[in-house]
Amino acid sequence: MLKVVAFRKAIFAGAAGALAWDVAARALALSGVPVFDLVRQLGTLAFPNGSAALWWPAGVVAHLAVGAGWALFYAYFFWARLRWPPALQGLAFAALPALLAIFLMVPQLQLMHLGQDVVQVDWRSFVVALEPPILATIVLGHALFGLTVGAIYTRPVGYRVGSPPGSPYAPRRRRRMAQTTRRQADGAFMFATGIECSYPTVDSGRWRRDEMASMRHYELWQLDFELARELGVTHLRYGPPLHLTYEGPGRYRWDLIDEAMAELEALGPEPMLDLCHFGVPSWLGNFQNPDVGEALAEYATVFARRYPWVRFYTPVNEMYVCARMSALDGVWNEQLCDETAFITASFNLAAASVAMTDALLAQRPDAIFVNSESSEFYQPCCPDPAIRESADIENERRFLPLDLLYAHEVSERMLATLTGCGRVEEYRRFLAREVPRRTILGVDYYEWNEKLVDQDGRKRALGELFGWYVIASQYWQRYRRPMMHTETNRIDASDAPRWLWRQWHNVQLLRGAGVPLVGFTWYSLTDQIDWGSALVEARGAVDPVGLFDLNRDPRAVGLAYMHLIEMHRDQPEYRHCRALKELLD
């Protein structure tokens, strides 16, 4: 798949573009300008001797169909390749059909209108002497077409916040499949993948990104679960769409996910339920809202009552990333760019995670919490005190949400910041909390997680400098919780198998060093959409990071992961993972 394409929008855009061309051509013809009448040319192919009542509608229909086809071609191959305003992208694209029309289609149409079966041609046949006004109207027609298509075909993925899809999940289909049953967590090392499920808002809260919709998981959920089972993964990180299922206080749409949850319960893989993934329902606003925690705790309570068999939960995914992107980098949800807003978002997210954890424990006292967080590290480029301080601030800031969740003291500098924000009392309450025993610190790692603070103070991705082993060790030293590698992937699909094995060797090394590591995850099952722009631009660009592509055909890394799982799952040290067994008991 090249792009995620909004078919209806593209077809409408193409038909509208063709119509705009026809209207302009009629207007010019009526005012006495000689024009290239494409509708007549097409219509009289079907009805060479017919009246206008016959050829005109046939010509219009043919032209609209051709327009729709070209617009689909534009949507797949051209849209969003240029960083230009959409209408200008369409205009630039229109040069292709215009050139084909002038040098190929118009001469061929003339051949097709001849009343004989065979003609003799030479190279001059391709250079039809078109009169300048005719040539000009061909160019003008294509320009109008391109401008119209470009202006209409924008944002092929996501939807207006006020217009969510009604019932996106496809009904369950009876399929003939190998009969399996869900393998209960039994203390074996967890080999996991996940369904990418981010749903932040962008464009000042007006546009909802919905990765599961873009990846067609709502349509293909049954196949996705089947593929995960086929690979041999034991656990699936799965985040039902909070923004669709939680319609308001006391109002839930469990019907959307009941069938998917029933299939996971019956057949597996064992799900790790991710209840809040980078967004909240629109009625809750954003992460500056102090009521988010209470509302999500209510959601967690009702969720656990409805699906009492679920044992693994991620109450809030990657709190640091969510707070940073929403309140410091200004790209998601509240889209703010200041330290106080970041602190507020971090506290609200941590409070939500704590409240949800307590709510879930009240329903399921043996629930296991996988607190997935992005591992980060900032390296100063040089001994410049300002640069080093900048890196130090970032290296302290990355821990804030986890410090709150795991009742760990923050640095002196961070404490001063919290004091300045009037958050010290609240911070002390977090510190006084007893962290549940059954918690797993999930540490995610991507090639951009290590950053260099350069001489201008900018943060640049370093690639894999120290690697997951070193960065995850820092998190282990700080929190001393059982750990899991909860996300990794590689944007370069050809390098993904190598990356997978290298990450795995990091896991093995850390386990060998005595760290209680209970699982590994390739994230995600399928390719993802628009992470190249952190979901900010709704372009529909496919990131080939999945174990399967969006056609659900396996990628090389999918095969490599299957190989890895088969090779290790029955080895004694993975078959019996003592650290996980202690959590399960």
User: Which residues contact another protein by CB under 8 A?
Assistant: 1-2, 5, 7, 45, 69, 72-73, 76, 100, 104, 108, 111-122, 230-231, 492-498, 500-502, 505, 527, 542, 544, 549-551, 553-556, 558-560, 562-564, 566-567
Q: Tally the C-alpha atoms within 13 A of residue 578's C-alpha that lie toward its C-beta.
A: 6
Sign of CA dihedral 148, 152, 155, 156: negative
- Closer of 81 and 576 to another protein (Cβ): 81
User: Which CB sits closer to another protein, 72 or 470?
Assistant: 72
Q: From the CB of 515, what's the least distance to another protein, in Å?
A: 21
- By C-alpha distance, which of 319, 323, 316 is closest to 339? 323
Q: Which is nearer to another protein, 438 or 539 (CB)?
A: 539
Q: How far is the CB of 571 from another protein (least distance, A)?
A: 13
Query: Is the Cβ of residue 4 or residue 410 nearer to another protein in the bound state?
Result: 4
Q: Smallest gap, in angstroms, from Cβ of residue 111 to another protein? A: 5
Phi, psi (degrees; rounded to nearest 5) at 543: -95, 115
Q: How far is the CB of 562 from another protein (least distance, A)?
A: 6
Name the minimum Å distance from CB 122 to another protein: 6
C-beta of 67: minimal distance to another protein in Å? Answer: 14
| Closer residue to another protein (CB): 80 or 276 | 80
- Separation of alpha carbons 178 and 150, rounded Å: 47
Q: Is-contact 267 317, C-beta < 8 A?
A: no
Q: CA–CA distance from 67 to each of 42, 103, 215, 343 (Å)? A: 13, 18, 27, 51
Find, among 105, 94, 104, 102, the residue nearest to 143 by Cα: 94
Sign of CA dihedral 313, 511, 450, 420: positive
Q: Which is nearer to another protein, 118 or 129 (CB)?
A: 118
C-beta of 501: minimal distance to another protein in Å? 3
Output the smallest distance, CB 46 to another protein, in A: 9
Grouping H, G, I as helix, E, B as strand and the rest as coil, residue 81 is coil
Nearer to another protein, 5 or 102 (CB): 5
| Cα–Cα distance measured from residue 80 to residue 82, given in angstroms and rounded to the nearest whole number | 5
Pick the closer one to another protein by CB: 403 or 527: 527
Angle (nearest 5°) at CA 407 between 406 and 408: 95
Between 114 and 432, name the residue whose CB sits nearer to another protein. 114
Residue closer to another protein (CB basis): 397 or 490: 490
Rank residues 355 and 564 by Cβ distance to another protein and give the closer one.
564
> What is the closest distance, in whole angstroms, from the C-beta atom of residue 553 to another protein in the complex?
5
Decide: 478 and 527 in contact? Cβ < 8 Å: no
Task: Find the shortest distance in angstroms from Cβ 554 to another protein.
Answer: 5
Give the pair of three-digit tokens for residue 5.
Answer: 């394409």
Closest approach of another protein to the CB of residue 148, in Å: 20
C-beta of 366 vs 570, nearer to another protein: 570
State the nearest-atom distance from the C-beta of 125 to another protein, in Å. Answer: 8
Rounded distance, CA 343 to CA 422, Å? 10
Neighbours of 498 (CB within 10 A): 14
Neighbouring C-beta atoms of residue 405, cutoff 10 Å? 27
Using the minimum distance from each CB to another protein, give the nearer residue, 231 or 404: 231
Which residue from 522, 523, 527 is spatially nearest to 542, judged by alpha carbons? 527
Residue 452 contacts residue 459 (beta carbons within 8 Å)? yes
Longest dimension (CA), the chain: 93
CA distance 537 to 532: 9
Report CA Rg, the chain.
29
Under a CB-based contact definition with an 8 Å cutoff, are residues 234 and 188 in contact?
yes
Pair 315, 183: CB distance under 8 Å: no
Task: Give me the phi and psi of 3, to 5 degrees please.
Answer: -145, 155
User: With respect to another protein, which residue has the nearer C-beta, 380 or 544?
Assistant: 544
Least distance in angstroms from the C-beta of 123 to another protein? 9
* d(C-alpha 364, C-alpha 359), whole Å: 9
Which positions ≥6 away from 371 have C-beta within 8 Å? Answer: 314, 315, 353, 402, 405, 406, 439, 440, 441, 442
Q: Smallest gap, in angstroms, from Cβ of residue 498 to another protein?
A: 6
